[in-house]
């Protein structure tokens, strides 16, 4: 008598997993296509802007070197007591000028990072489109992309719920609200702590100096899709595809908690 019921439950769970797999494939295809489109729209403009900023930096640096070379020669001949002050001033101006601009946001991985911030509604604000076409596409992405993400999360929620039900039944041989709530709590806290450790390791690999506490804060801001931007992926980190994927898939299991 219980056989058909158990069979129906299993078939229902299998359907949830199948629906989740289809939704994941559709969502990822949409995200990767959108990343390619926004990259094509923004890449040329940013490349031109970067070239202009590099030229401006080169001109400023050449003039600084020329002025201070003349000044130091003059002081060396007439006022050697001021040489140390002039050298200090040159060093300060060089620090203020900074390094030659090389940041390029709209690579494919940077575009993927941007698309994820839009469809997940996190919106860190690390960088944004500047062309009219890019901005128009971002509006489209914000409307359609969030709908795709909502559908994906709903399917992920069904699959995750089925998994938790299975674990609860395995522990107690029957449905138990207390066990289910305990599993929910352990899943959220455990996922948060593990994700923070992953963020810390990936940030270090990308040249960032994040403490574990900073990574926990970043994970919480990402989980809740608040995206304050006080701590977010730098342009260097945004170019790392594995960090991009890890950062923006973290809200999904949290969002699917029943």
pLDDT tens track for 78-115 = 777 777 888 888 888 888 888 888 888 898 988 988 89
Closest CA to 22 of 142, 161, 159: 159
Q: Which pLDDT tens digit goes with each residue over 176-234?
A: 567 667 767 777 788 788 888 888 887 777 677 788 888 888 877 777 777 666 666 65
| Residue 177: per-residue pLDDT | 66
Percent of the chain exceeding pLDDT 90 equals 19
Between the alpha carbon of residue 17 and those of residues 21, 22, 155, the distances in Å are 6, 9, 8
pTM: 0.67
pLDDT at 21 > cutoff 80: yes
pLDDT at 237 (0 to 100): 47
Separation between Cα atoms, residue 213 and residue 130, nearest integer Å: 34
Full set of structural domains in the chain with CATH: 2-255 (1.10.287.70)
How buried is 8 (Cβ within 10 angstroms: 0-12 exposed, 13-18 middle, 19+ buried)?
exposed
The reported pLDDT for the residue numbered 9 is 45
With DSSP H G I counted as helix, E B as strand and the rest as coil, what are the percentages for the chain, rounded to 5?
Answer: 80, 0, 20
pLDDT band at 55 (very low <50, low <70, confident <90, very high): very high
- The share of the chain scoring above pLDDT 70, in percent, equals 74
């Amino acid at each position: 008598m219980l056989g058909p019921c158990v069979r129906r439950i299993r078939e229902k769970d299998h359907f949830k997993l199948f629906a989740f797999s289809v939704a994941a494939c559709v969502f990822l295809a949409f995200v990767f296509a959108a990343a390619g489109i926004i990259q094509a729209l923004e890449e040329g403009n940013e490349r031109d802007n970067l070239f202009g900023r590099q030229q401006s930096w080169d001109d400023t640096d050449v003039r600084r070197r020329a002025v201070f070379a003349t000044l130091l020669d003059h002081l060396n001949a007439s006022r050697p007591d001021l040489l140390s002050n002039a050298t200090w001033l040159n060093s300060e101006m060089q620090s203020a000028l900074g390094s030659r601009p090389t940041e390029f946001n709209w690579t494919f991985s940077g575009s993927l990072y941007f698309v994820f911030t839009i469809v997940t509604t996190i919106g860190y604000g690390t960088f944004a489109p500047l062309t009219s076409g890019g901005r128009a596409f971002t509006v489209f992405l914000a409307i359609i992309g969030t709908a795709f993400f909502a559908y994906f999360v709903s399917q992920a929620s069904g699959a995750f719920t089925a998994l938790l039900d299975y674990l609860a039944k395995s522990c107690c041989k029957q449905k138990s609200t207390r066990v289910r709530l305990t599993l929910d709590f352990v899943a959220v806290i455990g996922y948060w702590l593990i994700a923070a450790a992953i963020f810390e390791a990936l940030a270090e690999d990308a040249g960032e100096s994040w403490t574990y506490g900073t990574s926990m804060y970043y994970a919480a801001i990402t989980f809740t899709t608040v995206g304050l931007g006080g701590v977010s992926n730098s342009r260097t980190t945004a170019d790392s595809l594995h960090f991009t994927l890890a950062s923006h898939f973290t809200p999904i299991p949290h969002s699917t908690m029943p």
